[in-house]
Structure 1
Amino acid sequence: MTSLENEPPRALLAGASRRWVRLLPWGLALVLSVALLPTTIQVLTADYGLDAGIASALAVTQAAPLLLAVVHPLRAWYVVFAADVAGALALLTVDFAERLLWPFPPMEVVGYVGLCLALGLREPRRTLLAVWLATAGANVGLVFVAPHGPGSKGLLLTILGGVALVLGGALRERYEAQRRLAEQETISEAERDRRTLLEERARIARELHDVVAHHMSVVTVQADSAAYRLDRLPPDVQEEFTSIGATARESLGEMRRLLGVLRNEEARGELAPQPGLSRIGQLVEATVRAGVPVEFAPCDAEVPEAVGLSAYRIVQEALANVVRHAPGAATQVAVSADGDQLTVLVVNAPPPEPPAAPLEVGDTGHGLVGMRERVRLVGGDLDTGPLPDGGFRVAARLPIDERDGPGRPLLHPLPP
């Protein structure tokens, strides 16, 4: 008879949320042991006339294992059951009054019933049935050799022990059912949250596809077909339309990758190689064509993909801010590697003249936040802010060695 539990044994009710409930089995076991130990010795010696030494040994083996029952009730049962049967056989050697309960005195019945309750709270049904059959078999066998003849009182331990086993088993199964129900509710809640997240991602993907991707496709088609729709386009204008089309197609490519991430539940990142330091020059050329004079100091250092992508996005957002907020302002872009650090610097002067109207309406202000997030992910530092002459500066230091982290002072940026 062994427990079906494979996990390390825990005290009874150890999973209860309230502390007093967790301590309850220890308190009851201690009370029973302390109360039954002297009581058993007194009753066996004074009422039954058993030798004091034998009575003391029986009392210890019948009461002390009740403390073990809090953690190992089945092991405690082996000891107590054997001690109770041995005590019944020892009482056959003495002459005691017929009114006294045999084969198991009252204090043994109390301790055994408490032990059966502990067994019911821990062991599976098969073990509980085996315990009850062993108890009934021993009880019936001893009744047939009763010194005063068989009687109904001799089966008291079998009846009360069976009731305790059933009660403990019912409480345990009820607790297990409630635990499984709580786990299922937790799983269902997690599934609902996951389903809500997937639905939101799908909705965002649909919106991006229907709105942004549609308009970008229109821009691409119009830019590519301008040379065929409009007669006698100057070469510089035709080149401008070609540049617009190329930029729009690149934006559509990035949009498709983003939609793939949103629609793919198992996606762990973007689905195509991402731009790095080698692509920053293209950003600068596109910005120059937009009417912003830019001086660019490139860098061909080998850096991790995440660092190169962060540098690209920082320059992209900084130049986009110049086009939006300071059109025509002289701008410097410098990317340099110094030892284990990559420094990205974008500085613009004030615009030649204040823009008549903002290029975009309802600016979200998420650009600088996005920069800081990208820098933080690679363990770098970012310094942004206005300059005394009215310009603006974006300076980032990114660790090339991924083991480096933030906390070192930012290199002083170049003046505009």
Structure 2
Amino acid sequence: MTSVEEGRPRPLLARASRRWVRLLPWAVAFVLSVALLPTTIVVLTADYGLGGGLASALAVAQAAPLLLAVVHPLRAWYVIFTADVAGALALLTVDFEARLLWPFPPMGIVGYIGLCLALGLRERRRTLLLVWLATAAANVGLGFAAPHAFGAKGLLLTILGGVALLLGGVLRERHEVQRRLAEQETISEAERGRRTLLEERARIARELHDVVAHHMSVITVQADTAEYRLAALPPDVREEFTSIAATARESLGEMRRLLGVLRNEEAHGELVPQPGLPQIAQLVEATARTVGPVEFSPCDAEVPEAVGLSAYRIVQEALSNVVRHAPGAATRVSLSVSAPVADGGDRLTVLVVNGPPPKPSAAPLEVGGTGHGLVGMRERVRIIGGTLDAGPLPDGGFRIAARLPMTETDSP
């Protein structure tokens, strides 16, 4: 519960989320000061027989610094500890009854316990140990000068002060452990999200590698065979085709060297042709056998391989979410081509909508989600220059709508 901002100590419990908890140390310190100040004066004068002026000075020195203890408990301890020892020595100058506590009257013990609790909430173990040793040494040392029999009652300040220091230290360390755990959980969640994003980018890069490699290979083959397929090519045109083939082959090699490291040698399944729009029907049919009927509106439009692959992955992730979170819910998958937009070109609209799960259904496979699937969708859509809108519906369902460009675009 130590708290220092820009070199200035903050009050005890200043980081608490609730306002009444933040005000609690001030309230306790105020109540103790107001209650102990007049009580100490009355007891020291009426019961112990100390002079009014000296009793008032000791009362102020022992009670007022409790307000300082909310922000600077160690500084307050120096003042109060000195005042308590001075008060014990002052009582040696008067004749008081043996039944009264000495060297520290009850009011001083109560204030000192509150001070020790504040010290425990702020200071480290070494400081707390030194405070307790100083308290014990002063208590035992004064015992040798006791005007009456010195017994266990005379050590109350040492015993109760030690308990308060221990309690405050335990509470402080428990708070520190909880704070560090919360910080670590926050860092871990951020790292998990970043790792998921990087994994999805790597997966997209591998898939785009396959798509681009296919096109580059076609360009290379067509350029290499042009002189055999086309009769009577002029020499300069033949040299141009040869240059195109060489450039395409070199670019293909560079791309494979840069992106080939993203392939997992054990992931043999990724070496097969990547799915596109035609395979979505099979995906919907397989999902329908798992969660129930799925309404599907196909689209036969010709789209780039990267767009078709992205549409397939979006539908795949959306249907997986239905299986995990809303088994048995009515689901609709729609593929359509929208009219040209302001930035030019038609858009492929991918729409996946599911209703709330039916009441008498099995429990969902997952109660909560991490949102990593949506992160992957947004990253995939962003790379090909599309847009994604995803969110819950008022009836408890969920809607995912993606608009993908029908032509190749540069990633933002």
Contact kept? 2:41, 2:52, Cα under 8 Å: yes
**Unpaired runs of at least 5, structure 1:** 264-319, 326-361, 374-416
Judged with a 3 Å threshold, the aligned counterparts in structure 2 of structure 1 residues 127 and 366 are, in CA distance, closer, same or farther, namely farther
User: Which amino acid in the other structure matches residue 365 of structure 1?
Assistant: P
1:3-402 to 2 correspondence within 5 Å?
8-233=8-233, 364-365=404-405
Question: 2: distance between equivalents of 1:363 and 1:24?
Answer: 55
Contact kept? 1:201, 1:262, Cα under 8 Å: no
SS in structure 2 at match of 1:84: helix
**TM-score (norm. length: structure 1):** 0.59
Judged with a 3 Å threshold, the aligned counterparts in structure 2 of structure 1 residues 51 and 370 are, in CA distance, closer, same or farther, namely farther
**Unpaired runs of at least 5, structure 2:** 264-342, 348-401
Structure having the higher Rg = 1
RMSD (Å), alpha carbons: 3.8
Contact kept? 2:3, 2:11, Cα under 8 Å: no
Question: 2: distance between equivalents of 1:230 and 1:368?
Answer: 29
Question: 1: distance between equivalents of 2:403 and 2:102?
Answer: 92
Contact kept? 2:3, 2:9, Cα under 8 Å: no
SS in structure 2 at match of 1:17: coil
1:38-72 residue CA offsets vs partner (Å, 9 max, x unmatched): 11111111111111110111011101110111111
Structure with more contact order per residue of length (Cα contacts < 8 Å, sep ≥ 6): 2
Question: 2: distance between equivalents of 1:148 and 1:218?
Answer: 108
SS in structure 1 at match of 2:102: coil
1:194-242 residue CA offsets vs partner (Å, 9 max, x unmatched): 2111111110110111122222222223223311454434679868857
Structure 1 runs of 4+ aligned residues shifted over 3 Å read 3-8, 228-231, 233-263, 365-371
Aligned partner of 1:272 in structure 2 is none
User: Which amino acid in the other structure matches residue 124 of structure 2?
Assistant: P
User: Which amino acid in the other structure matches residue 161 of structure 2?
Assistant: G
Aligned partner of 1:332 in structure 2 is none
SS in structure 2 at match of 1:36: helix
* Count of equivalent residues: 278
1:128-152 residue CA offsets vs partner (Å, 9 max, x unmatched): 1110010011111112211112121
User: Which amino acid in the other structure matches residue 227 of structure 1?
Assistant: E
User: Which amino acid in the other structure matches residue 207 of structure 1?
Assistant: E
User: Which amino acid in the other structure matches residue 131 of structure 2?
Assistant: V
Question: 1: distance between equivalents of 2:406 and 2:243?
Answer: 27
SS in structure 1 at match of 2:404: coil
Contact kept? 2:206, 2:262, Cα under 8 Å: no
Question: 2: distance between equivalents of 1:98 and 1:363?
Answer: 91
Question: 1: distance between equivalents of 2:238 and 2:409?
Answer: 37
Question: 2: distance between equivalents of 1:173 and 1:8?
Answer: 21
Judged with a 3 Å threshold, the aligned counterparts in structure 2 of structure 1 residues 363 and 26 are, in CA distance, closer, same or farther, namely closer
SS in structure 2 at match of 1:94: coil
Q: Identity of aligned pairs, percent? A: 79
Question: 2: distance between equivalents of 1:369 and 1:153?
Answer: 86
Question: 2: distance between equivalents of 1:8 and 1:72?
Answer: 10
SS in structure 1 at match of 2:207: helix
Judged with a 3 Å threshold, the aligned counterparts in structure 2 of structure 1 residues 108 and 200 are, in CA distance, closer, same or farther, namely same
SS in structure 2 at match of 1:45: helix
Q: CA offset at residue 168 of structure 1?
A: 0.4
